[in-house]
């Protein structure tokens, strides 16, 4: 194969928020597939907050992206060449193709898709890793019960919107936190949250906590943690006894490094630890890649609700691989509306 592929590599490690200079746009010939491999032309690529952590060199739950290495990402695309049994040109696949227009992957690492069952983009969001994260975290660690109160930040994102809608379907009061009045309106009007607070309207955790206390008159039973920062500080003192805190992310600290420099300024470790103890809280961190064996169960439960409109979703689509760095930088600043996806074809 002689055609060229395009891909984006990590040019340098960011200090603080990433800049376009941290990325490099590259071209290379599209390779031929080896035994058991297929070549995929990527149609859509997912951009997710976890990618910021992989840009750092510190220890984490997965290997850091190396300088000069293609940025990692999930994507969906069409097989254009196959050297694997059971795969043919024209098949559609989901896999970790990276920030790239094409990829060569072992067929056994891919999931075959039927584009007639659900939109391809849905497998990157509401029916993909983000939706699965929300479902698993809430059901496994949130242990929701009718009549309880749940709080989730980034309420209009693909994780938060899944958590809120599932909670409502189970009879909980769902309170969202989002950045901006438009996102809060989307949370209540489209995703069915009972209330949503604009965190940008509150200068500090104390004022946010006061507003959140009014929105949660019976306290908070489940806090689905995906942002950290002043939201964490605002919520934790409102937790009820035997509350549950599934932890899947801390986007507000990602640009400060893996441990979240400045965290001590918002909530001291002794205060946080004491709250966990005296309120008998269950705090469970999880990495969704450890639970992909449950993906069929998630699809079976959630896909019918998505297809019949019971669970709604929003996608924010950027066109062109060359625009991925700017879109990703915007994601970390909360500029996206819904699941952020890059369209390549």
Domain boundaries, the chain: 4-125+314-343, 129-288
CA pair distance 267, 201, nearest whole angstrom: 20
178, 198, 200, 205, 267 from 208: Cα distances, Å: 12, 9, 9, 5, 14
Q: 242-266, pLDDT tens digit by residue?
A: 999 999 987 766 665 443 444 444 5
4-125+314-343 CATH pick, 3.40.50.11890, 3.20.20.80, 3.60.15.10, 3.90.180.10:
3.90.180.10
Distance CA 304, CA 302 (A): 6
**pTM higher than the cut 0.75:** yes
Residue 267 confidence class, pLDDT cut points 50, 70, 90? low
- Residue written as tokens 């996206």? 336
pLDDT at 280 over 60: yes
Give exposure, 117-155, as e/b (b: 16+ Cβ within 10 Å). Answer: ebbbbbbbbbbbbbbbbbbbbbbebbebeeebbbbbbbb
Q: Which residue reads 């899947």 in tokens?
A: 248
Q: CATH second-level architecture of 129-288? A: 3-Layer(aba) Sandwich (3.40)
Containing H/E element for 343?
strand 339-343
Task: Please tell me the predicted confidence (pLDDT) of residue 254.
Answer: 63
- HSE-CB at 20 with a 13 A cutoff on CA atoms is 6
Distance CA 203, CA 195 (A): 19
pLDDT at 339: 96
pLDDT higher at 261 or 24? 24
At residue 77, the pLDDT reads 97
Q: Where are the alpha helices (DSSP H) in 267-312?
A: 269-278, 295-307
- pLDDT higher than threshold 90 for residue 228: no
Lowest mean pLDDT among 53-67, 125-139, 153-167, 266-280: 266-280
What tokens does 163 get?
A: 């958590």
Lowest mean pLDDT across 75-84, 162-171, 273-282: 273-282
**322-331 exposure pattern, b = at least 16 Cβ within 10 A, e = fewer:** eebbebbbeb
Res 255: pLDDT: 63
Instruction: For residues 40 and 88, give the distance between their C-alpha atoms in angstroms, rounded to a whole number.
Output: 11
| 275-297 burial code (b ≥16 CB/10 A, e <16) | bbeebebebeeeebeebeebbee
When pLDDT is cut at 50, 70 and 90, the band that residue 227 belongs to is confident
Count H helices and E strands in the chain, helices first.
10, 15
Q: Rounded distance, CA 228 to CA 244, Å?
A: 15
The set of residues, in sequence order, having a beta carbon less than 8 Å from that of 51 and lying 6+ positions away, is: 71, 72, 73, 328
Q: How far is CA 5 from CA 37, 214, 321, in A?
A: 17, 54, 11
């Amino acid at each position: 194969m002689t055609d060229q592929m395009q891909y984006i590599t990590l040019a340098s490690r960011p200090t603080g928020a990433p800049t376009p200079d941290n990325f490099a746009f590259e071209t290379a010939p599209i390779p031929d597939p080896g035994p058991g491999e297929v070549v995929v032309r990527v149609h859509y690529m997912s951009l997710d907050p976890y990618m910021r952590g992989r840009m750092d060199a510190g220890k984490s739950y997965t290997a850091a992206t190396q300088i000069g290495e293609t940025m990692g990402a999930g994507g969906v695309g069409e097989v254009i060449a196959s050297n694997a049994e059971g795969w043919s040109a024209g098949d559609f696949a989901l896999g970790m193709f990276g920030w790239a227009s094409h990829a060569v992957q072992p067929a056994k690492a891919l999931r075959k898709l039927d584009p007639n069952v659900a939109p391809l983009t849905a497998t990157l969001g509401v029916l993909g890793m983000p939706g699965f994260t929300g479902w698993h975290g809430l059901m496994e660690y949130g242990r929701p019960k009718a009549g309880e109160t749940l709080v989730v930040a980034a309420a209009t994102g693909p994780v938060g919107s899944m958590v809120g809608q599932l909670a409502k379907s189970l009879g909980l009061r769902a309170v969202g936190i989002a950045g901006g009045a438009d996102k809060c309106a989307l949370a209540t009007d489209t995703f069915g949250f009972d209330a949503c607070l604009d965190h940008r309207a509150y200068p500090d955790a104390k004022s946010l906590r006061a507003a959140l206390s009014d929105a949660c008159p019976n306290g908070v039973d489940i806090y689905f943690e995906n942002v950290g920062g002043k939201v964490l500080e605002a919520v934790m003192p409102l937790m009820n006894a035997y509350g549950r805190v599934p932890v899947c992310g801390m986007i507000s600290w990602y640009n400060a490094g893996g441990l979240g420099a400045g965290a001590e300024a918002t909530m001291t470790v002794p205060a946080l630890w004491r709250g966990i103890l005296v309120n008998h809280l269950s705090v469970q961190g999880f990495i969704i890649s450890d639970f992909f064996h449950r993906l069929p169960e998630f699809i079976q439960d959630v896909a019918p609700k998505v297809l019949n409109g019971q669970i709604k979703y929003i996608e924010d689509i950027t066109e062109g691989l060359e625009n991925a760095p700017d879109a990703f930088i915007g994601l970390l600043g909360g500029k996206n509306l819904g699941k952020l996806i890059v369209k390549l074809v």
